[in-house]
Amino acid sequence: MSARRFRTYHDVEHDTASGILEQVVQQRQRLADRLASIRCIVAVLSGKGGVGKSAITANLAAVLAARGARVGAVDADLNGPSLARMLGAAEGRLGDGAAGVVPAAGAAGVRVMSMELLQGAADAPLRWQGPEGDAFIWRGTAEAGTLREFIADVDWGELDYLLIDVPPGTDKIARLLDLVRPDQTLLVTTPADIARRVVARSARLLREAGLESTGIIANMTAYALPDGTLQPLFTTDGARTLARESNLQIWAELPFDPAFATATDAGEPYALAVPASTVGTAIGRLAERVERAPRGRNA
């Protein structure tokens, strides 16, 4: 008995007027149109959690803006947003503008978009309307759609830099790369060997994606005392090992300074407030490095 033969999907040109494909193409076009007004996309990522990505993003964004750049910042961490708070914009409101959603204004005029600006309760976990029992099937898709909207539907205006704070997990990095191709990637790690092992996977992901302008940010390299002296925090030097093994350069080494953490958590980027501090100076140098890197203002 022979199997029935009929035309397959690709044999049929007509699209049933359902328009699904056209809608996806339009989504992509909206994203491309928005990105056209952004000079340089900088992704701050790690793969590892708790290494200071958000604090670095907030401080770098504020310092770049203070140096005269037009800066936007997207908090891609939908489940644990903190960027708006660190930039002092957590109580800000969005707008409905003719060209899209008007972002909140943060420190130094940084334009901010974060899930925290949309959620009603400060301790609310991210939840979606829908059949919860099957949420594992569609939740990731919904989050990817929201991230797309955070980038494509916000009226960023003309930007010199759009910084994207990427949550932990190499899958989250891959999700971002499905949407945008960063001009620069800042790979944040600490001297801890366990961090190096995780971040090495992200470095490989970026290398395989062909992203060449990647710099390592070595965070918590030492403990900064109030008098400016530095004390070792770790006995390992994972950042340098990572740089050697991944053939990447270290773009910045940032000591741990409790004042930096306290001020940033309170919505006052420390590198902006105390630029002469050890960590403030390091962030300032990082900003200069970003400006010289591909598509930076001084590239």
Site residues (vs another protein, CB under 8 A): 6-7, 9, 12, 14-20, 22-24, 26-27, 30, 93-98, 100-102, 117-121, 124, 127-131, 134, 137-139, 141-142, 145-146, 148-149, 153-154
Count of residues for the chain? 299
Task: Output the DSSP codes for 201-257.
Answer: HHHHHHHHTT---EEEEEEEEEEEPTTS-EEE--S--HHHHHHHHHT-EEEEEEEE-
Distance, C-alpha 33 to centroid of its chain: 20
Least distance CB 183 / another protein (angstroms): 25
* DSSP, res 115: G
* DSSP, res 159: E
Cβ atoms within 10 Å of 233's Cβ, excluding its own: 15
Q: Please identify, using beta-carbon distances, which residue of 122 and 276 lies nearer to another protein.
A: 122
Cβ atoms within 10 Å of 230's Cβ, excluding its own: 14
Least distance CB 160 / another protein (angstroms): 23
Least distance CB 32 / another protein (angstroms): 15
Least distance CB 99 / another protein (angstroms): 9
Q: Please identify, using beta-carbon distances, which residue of 159 and 279 lies nearer to another protein.
A: 159
Least distance CB 39 / another protein (angstroms): 22
Q: Please identify, using beta-carbon distances, which residue of 126 and 230 lies nearer to another protein.
A: 126
Q: Please identify, using beta-carbon distances, which residue of 38 and 252 lies nearer to another protein.
A: 38
Least distance CB 145 / another protein (angstroms): 5
Are the C-beta atoms of residues 58 and 74 closer than 8 Å to each other?
A: no
Q: Please identify, using beta-carbon distances, which residue of 29 and 229 lies nearer to another protein.
A: 29
Q: Which residue carries 């916000």 as its tokens?
A: 154
| DSSP-derived 3-state class of residue 42 | strand
Q: Please identify, using beta-carbon distances, which residue of 171 and 212 lies nearer to another protein.
A: 171
CA separation for the pair 44, 97 (Å, rounded)? 28
